Structure 1
Amino acid sequence: MSLSCNAVSNPSFETGILAPWHPSAINVAKINNGAIAYSGDYYLDLQTAVGNRGNTISQGLRNLKPHMEYKFSVQAQVPSPSGSEYCSVYVYMGRNATIGSIASAQLFNFGEWTEVTGSYVPKRENDILSIVAACDSEDSSVTGHILFDDISFIGDDCAYGLV
């Protein structure tokens, strides 16, 4: 599978910068490097919001093929120790998290990478991919962190080598 099959730009944050990803709030998304990365040298650290609410990173995807199934995958980790009881990852396409839902997972295994997967059939050539990180804690003033690496959104024609 070639890198050009992935509709996501900067999927592993190996550029060392966040662009073209856009965070939902200022200073909540940081690109870090180190051995903790799932692959390569860099990963995203997305801080969750106080009050057990989520923060989001989004990216506009272009040249999608409407009515073709795309497979989504991301590696996610809650670093240990965490002040949270558990954290959640929600992934959706478009502006409606319910209608455009792609994947979701609750993360209980802190300090371990977990693959979150799903699929989606776009209706338009251009759309917005959003990944939400939220952590739950009895103390609503606690903010959590979820690490992300290796994000992919790949159409079925690429997955089977037909491109």
Structure 2
Amino acid sequence: MALSTCNVVSNPSFETGLLTPWRESAVNVAKISNGTTAYSGDYYLNLQTAVGNRGNTISQGLHGLKRHTEYKFSVQAQVPWAGSEYCAVYVYMGRNATVGSVASAQLFTVQEWTEVSGTYVPKRETDILNIVALCDSEDSSVTGNVLLDDVIFAPADCYGLE
């Protein structure tokens, strides 16, 4: 079975051109864009960060998870311009970022896709995947942007089968 068929994320590369079934933490902070900037395919997500060096989140409910099975997570992330000292991506499951931590990375390089990856073992068959993007700037009134593409959450035994 190919990795793409094992991925439990719906609309993982935003190729529908719509945000659905992803949900954004604040109104109009997540925009689907298209063009040559995309990591794969034609579309990607442009997630605006919040003022005060805080993050915004996109979330999606995942169903049919295999309890006590290791899942691998990855997302491609990019900072499109150097308006901040750095940006970061944090990924967690459920409602608690500390208990459900999956992956995190600081993004210092501009206009270069970086893979953010980690592992997670679900305790439930249904859970919520949360991807948070934030940018740190000396001017806390500035918002940043982080581009996201190619979100994968699949059982570890599916990796390497493509």
The TM tier, using the shorter chain, reads over 0.9
Aligned to 1:120: 120
User: Which SS does the other structure have where 1:4 is aligned?
Assistant: helix
Q: Distance in 2 between matches of 1:98 and 1:65?
A: 22
Runs of 4+ in 1 over 4 A off after TM superposition: none
Q: TM-score, normalised by structure 2?
A: 0.96
Q: How many residues align?
A: 160
Q: Distance in 2 between matches of 1:2 and 1:91?
A: 20
Q: Distance in 1 between matches of 2:94 and 2:16?
A: 25
User: Which SS does the other structure have where 1:37 is aligned?
Assistant: coil
Aligned to 2:51: 50
**Contact 2:3–2:154 at 8 Å: present in 1 too?**
no
Gaps of 5+ in 1: none
Q: TM-score, normalised by structure 1?
A: 0.96
Q: Do the aligned partners of residues 140 and 16 (structure 1) sit closer, same or farther apart at CA in structure 2, a change above 3 Å counting?
A: same
One-letter identity of the residue aligned with 1:77: Q
User: Which SS does the other structure have where 2:117 is aligned?
Assistant: strand
Aligned to 1:152: 152
One-letter identity of the residue aligned with 2:126: N
One-letter identity of the residue aligned with 2:33: N
User: Which SS does the other structure have where 1:45 is aligned?
Assistant: strand
Q: Distance in 1 between matches of 2:115 and 2:138?
A: 26
- 1:2 is displaced (CA, Å) by 4.6
One-letter identity of the residue aligned with 2:45: L
**Contact 2:30–2:46 at 8 Å: present in 1 too?**
yes
TM-align CA RMSD: 1.0
Aligned to 1:29: 30
- 1:159 is displaced (CA, Å) by 2.8
In the TM superposition, what are the counterparts of 1:70-149 in structure 2 within 5 Å? 70-80=71-81, 82-149=82-149
Q: Do the aligned partners of residues 67 and 33 (structure 1) sit closer, same or farther apart at CA in structure 2, a change above 3 Å counting?
A: same
Q: Distance in 1 between matches of 2:104 and 2:96?
A: 14
Gaps of 5+ in 2: none
Q: Distance in 2 between matches of 1:51 and 1:91?
A: 20
